[in-house]
């Protein structure tokens, strides 16, 4: 009748710290590796029955273990098990990384995809989505990733722009 919280010590640092250590921008190959590892975690939690939606993906909640060099998702404090048709989920997340649908109480796997895209945008450009949280990904009014950092490849920019689409149906499905 008791519950226990099991924690693992991660001998490393979060991506926010790593970004600061690299003067605000992280290289595309490194961000690509981290994003692939984050996708593996998201795929696993999204395929649980019912799916688990993380809801707070950002550089500070992704850590690289110094021993294994693997990315780990930490702080599942606001992650929720969400039925596919469930509405009215409490809107908790970090402004700038949280997708628009979160604030209307609708979350799904593509909500985490948005947050991953926002995280990648931040790591690659050095522009923090929290500084302009409601309009940062309106690329008709704001700079696209390659306009901020010309070293970003065209394919990477396409991936980020699609991941942070305003409408979930325009994002990657998984």
Q: 153-158: which pairs have CB atoms within 8 A and are 24 or more residues apart? A: 153/28, 156/28, 156/31, 156/32, 156/120, 156/124
List 56, 112, 131, 138, catalytic entry: 56
Helix (H, G, I), strand (E, B) or coil at 71: strand
Strands (E) across 58-155 are located at 62-65, 71-73, 80-81
Instruction: Clarify whether 14 is annotated catalytic.
Output: no
Residues catalogued as catalytic:
56
């Amino acid at each position: 009748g008791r519950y226990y919280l099991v924690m693992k010590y991660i001998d490393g640092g979060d991506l926010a710290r790593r970004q600061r250590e690299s003067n605000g921008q992280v290289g595309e190959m490194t961000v690509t590796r981290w994003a692939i590892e984050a996708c593996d975690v998201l795929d696993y939690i999204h395929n649980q029955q019912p799916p688990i939606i993380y809801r707070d993906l950002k550089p500070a909640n992704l850590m690289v273990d110094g021993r294994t060099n693997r990315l780990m998702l930490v702080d599942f404090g606001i992650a929720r098990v969400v039925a596919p048709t469930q509405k009215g989920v409490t809107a908790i997340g970090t402004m700038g990384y949280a997708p628009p649908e979160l604030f209307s109480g609708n979350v799904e796997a593509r909500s985490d995809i948005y947050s991953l895209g926002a995280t990648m945008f931040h790591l690659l450009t050095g522009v923090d989505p929290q500084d302009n949280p409601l309009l940062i990904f309106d690329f008709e009014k704001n700079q696209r990733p390659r306009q901020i950092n010309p070293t970003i490849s065209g394919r990477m920019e396409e991936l980020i722009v699609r991941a942070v689409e305003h409408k979930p149906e325009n994002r990657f499905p998984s």
